[in-house]
Amino acid sequence: MSFLQDAAAIEARSMQIIDGLLGDLPRGKEEKAIIKRMVHATGDPDLAWLADIHPRAVQAACEVFARGGKIIADVQMVVAGIAARAARLGVEVLCAIGEPAVAREAAAQKQTRAMAAMRHLARDMTGGMVVIGNAPSALYELGHLVRAGQAAPAVIVATPVGFVGAADSKDALPALGVPYITVHGTKGGSPAAAAAVNALCRLYLDRQK
């Protein structure tokens, strides 16, 4: 019972179990660290084989942190998951999903609030990180903004979940020409996105040592 109450011991044991489940996953050390955190956050080992990490994603994320770039999130659940670590790095996290202006625009355009929220913060994306953990429609809109030259993020973490649009929106990421981290298929979610960002924060701090 004392073991179950020790947070550090629980995490250490969890990582041992995950190591056993992943076996000889053919990924680099930093990529594997990100994947392990996503598996830990979701309890889903399948994510390890669905994860897709662009070769420049870690470096691009570290550059965002180094220059104090912004993180744009699609939903507050992502914000809640990354706010503490981002604050330690002096990185501002923005989310417009709850803004009244966003709700009005979404209603007027007959679109999701997630889409309107991406447009609302498009200018803040330049040189920063966009994190989409919930809404496929947000990722579709982000893709439109990037292709139109209206948004220029340095890196994208996108793990929208669901059966309508999630897989297709993630499959379109490579064509955007922006380093990314994603989980292909219908799986993902805000915990996976937040875990990936937190893992990137850890890797950045490790590189500073």
Q: Which residue has the tokens 């989310």?
A: 95
* Structure token digits, residue 177: 């020409």
* Structure token digits, residue 2: 């004392």
* Residue of 40, 54, 120, 144 marked active site: 40
Q: Which residue has the tokens 């990137």?
A: 200
pLDDT higher than threshold 60 for residue 49: yes
pLDDT at 50: 94
Active site residue 120: no
Dihedral sign computed on CA atoms, order 15, 23, 61, 51: negative
**pLDDT tens-place string over residues 141-188:** 999 999 999 999 999 999 999 999 999 999 999 999 999 999 999 999
Bigger pLDDT: 9 or 140?
A: 140
pLDDT at 1: 45
* Structure token digits, residue 165: 């649009």
Q: What is the mean pLDDT of residues 33-52?
A: 93
Query: Residue 199's closest CA among 136, 131, 114, 138?
Result: 131
Q: Provide the pLDDT confidence category of residue 2 given band limits of 50, 70 and 90.
A: low
| C-alpha–C-alpha distance, residues 186 and 63, integer Å | 30
pTM, full prediction = 0.93
Dihedral angle over CA of 38, 44, 47, 48, nearest 10: 80
pLDDT at 142: 98
